[in-house]
Chain A
Amino acid sequence: MMEAYIQAYNEAVFETDKNAALAVVNSALAAGISPENIVFQLIIPAVESMMARIEKDPDSNLAQHFMTAQIAADVTERMLAKFSSPPNIVGKVVIGAAYGDLHSLGKRIVMGCLKSLMVEVIDLGVNVTAENFVQEAIAHQAQVIAISAMMVHTATSELGSLKVRRLLQAQNLEDKIKIAVGGAPYRFDPTLYIKVGADAWAPDGVTAAKMIVNLINAVQA
């Protein structure tokens, strides 16, 4: 039964039809499925299924990525309010747009997916300094610093992820905090993440969430 809900939900998301996706969730609730099971047996598998679909389908589009995150985050927030006890979180990530960068769409997509995957997200906003990324990661005991950059100069700047790497090295934190990057320049040069000192990258916001969860798991292993 849950498979049918997952399929119907994902079809609605793939068609960027939020109302249809919410109708699936409401049907599941009406059928007696608990908010906990909605999140863990419907939303999370649906997001993971969408990640797999997007990874295999290079023709998936930005609107689909946006709606995947938007709907999942919205539903998760509503369901969390109904949980009988707070859920266990998978890990923590601090996220922001690189220093000098004011773009926020990619970050928003990643955040939406991460929240639905039970990752605690600390949003540092846009135009974030390297020092702020590292300070906040330490303060929140985050396993990952996620840096979005939509412009070449903010991706490659000495004041961006390269400086975050230097700060982590200086404080001997490289095993405890990993760096994830994403944004348009990385799509054009898939090896760029190495040159800017990151541990991993993803070509879109939805698969970025999966990559970040993998980094969290690697730190916690």
Chain B
Amino acid sequence: MTPLDILTAASMGNPAPRIPVFCNLLDQGAALLKLSPKAYFANGQYVAEAQLQLLQRYGHDNVWSLHYVGKEAELLGCQKILFADNGVPNVEDFVIKTLDDIPKFEVPDDITLHPAWQSIAECMAILRKEVGHTHPICAYLTASTTLPAILMGMDKWMELFLLGPFDLRDELIRKCSIFFQKHLVALKAAGANVLIYASPFGSPYFLSLPQIRKDILPWMIQDLQGVDRAGLVYYCGMAPFNAVIDLVFDELAISTHYISPLADLAEAKRLINTRGLMCGVIDDIKMIHWSTSQTRDEVKRIIDIGKPGGHFLFGTGVMPLSIPEENIRAMLAAAFEYGAWL
């Protein structure tokens, strides 16, 4: 079976040799090719080539569309990203500097014509050709209620979201929802088949449940209007969201859930059971300082909870660059070993 087949089997609860094993190695590619992150991410061929090499090296199941936090902001006019040699890029230029910018803010008619899209297109074309028929290709899409944080800064967005003016808040979210739909269509057309719906404001870590129901859920429904739910994954930016799992099933019809390492995984398993697919996620920040045996033990713990009954895959967070390579190898070896169906 190909990794794509194994993922489909896990989703359906069908027999497979093992559980799917996802590993996000976006930033490791630059180090592999001995490039600065800025040079690496500027060229889609580099990102695709590095991911294919990493796939060969580690044997995990997935690759990623070219992505870093801020890529969506670039598609919407961000002029400057702060690149670091030892970590993830960071938005340096906010598209929305004052509230007066919100009425002037416009979503491009065709985002695939934007210069910032071209490296994504290059990356996706190669990945689709090389592994599109065998491997899941993941892409990251920020929900309309969270995207403003990347456009204006989290603290200013939190202030606008909670204190208003609410007409401007809603105008911004509406425009972000339009962008979300265009982005999703473009990524699917380019070959992405696992779509990470990143909605931190849809997590009880950010807002209360009544606030989520009143101020977030209608926009999530709007984001996903007319969207095929196949391949869609609910994710809250590593924030726990067990308390909204039922809501996500019932109101959004998303059945795949990427569970935070800070969440109670056993509770999530009980909530999801066989009605969807659950990803158990390792705390990869702890992996920076763990030994290989600690890493293996944690993989076993996660798989022991998630695997019984199937409908389960193993995954990672952002996999910081400072994780020792022996821990990446130990994690994946343990995931394949404990994730095997005997």
Q: Which of A101-125 contact B (CB under 8 A)?
A: 101-105, 108
Q: Which residue of chain A has its CB nearest to the CB of B158? A: A66
CB neighbours (8 Å) of A18 from chain B are: 162-163
Judged by a CB distance under 8 angstroms, whether B107 is at the interface is no
Q: What is the CA–CA distance of A195 and B322 in the complex, to the nearest angstrom?
A: 13
CB of A188 within 8 A of CB of B286, answer yes
Judged by a CB distance under 8 angstroms, whether B91 is at the interface is yes
List chain A positions with a Cβ less than 8 A from chain B. 16, 18, 59, 61-64, 66-67, 70, 100-105, 108, 127, 151-154, 156-157, 184-185, 187-189, 191-192, 195
Residue interface mask B67-98, A partner, CB < 8 A = 1: 00000000000000010101110111000000
Q: How many Å from the CB of B262 to the closest CB on chain A? A: 7
Judged by a CB distance under 8 angstroms, whether B53 is at the interface is no
Q: What is the CA–CA distance of A100 and B285 in the complex, to the nearest angstrom?
A: 18
Task: Among A64, A102, A127, A153, point to the contact of B87 (Cβ < 8 A).
Answer: A153
CB of A66 within 8 A of CB of B162, answer yes
Q: Which residue of chain B has its CB nearest to the CB of A185? A: B285
Q: What is the CA–CA distance of A217 and B208 in the complex, to the nearest angstrom?
A: 34
8 contacts between A and B (CB under 8 A): A16-B211, A61-B204, A104-B154, A153-B87, A156-B288, A188-B238, A189-B283, A192-B285
CB of A188 within 8 A of CB of B283, answer yes
Q: How many Å from the CB of B127 to the closest CB on chain A? A: 26
Q: How many Å from the CB of B320 to the closest CB on chain A? A: 4
CB neighbours (8 Å) of A104 from chain B are: 153-155
Q: How many Å from the CB of B55 to the closest CB on chain A? A: 23
CB neighbours (8 Å) of A66 from chain B are: 155, 158-159, 162
Q: What is the CA–CA distance of A185 and B288 in the complex, to the nearest angstrom?
A: 11
Q: Which of B297-342 contact A (CB under 8 A)?
A: 318, 320-322
Q: Which of B267-283 contact A (CB under 8 A)?
A: 283
Considering the complex of A and B, which 10 residue pairs feature the smallest CB-CB distances, nearest first?
A153-B87, A188-B285, A105-B155, A152-B320, A105-B154, A153-B86, A108-B155, A189-B285, A62-B206, A189-B286
Judged by a CB distance under 8 angstroms, whether B261 is at the interface is yes
CB of B90 within 8 A of CB of A151, answer yes
CB of B289 within 8 A of CB of A195, answer yes
CB neighbours (8 Å) of A187 from chain B are: 262
CB neighbours (8 Å) of B261 from chain A are: 188
CB of A16 within 8 A of CB of B155, answer no
Judged by a CB distance under 8 angstroms, whether B205 is at the interface is yes
CB neighbours (8 Å) of A152 from chain B are: 87, 285, 288, 318, 320, 322
CB neighbours (8 Å) of B206 from chain A are: 61-63
CB of B262 within 8 A of CB of A188, answer yes
Q: Which of B90, B159, B261 has the most CB of A within 10 A?
A: B90
Q: What is the CA–CA distance of A192 and B285 in the complex, to the nearest angstrom?
A: 9
CB of A151 within 8 A of CB of B163, answer no
Q: How many Å from the CB of A100 to the closest CB on chain B? A: 5
Residue interface mask B208-239, A partner, CB < 8 A = 1: 10010000000000000000000000000010
CB neighbours (8 Å) of B126 from chain A are: none
Q: What is the CA–CA distance of A160 and B289 in the complex, to the nearest angstrom?
A: 18
Q: What is the CA–CA distance of A66 and B162 in the complex, to the nearest angstrom?
A: 9
CB of B162 within 8 A of CB of A63, answer yes
Q: Which residue of chain A has its CB nearest to the CB of B157? A: A105
CB of A103 within 8 A of CB of B154, answer yes
CB of A63 within 8 A of CB of B208, answer yes
CB neighbours (8 Å) of B90 from chain A are: 100-102, 151
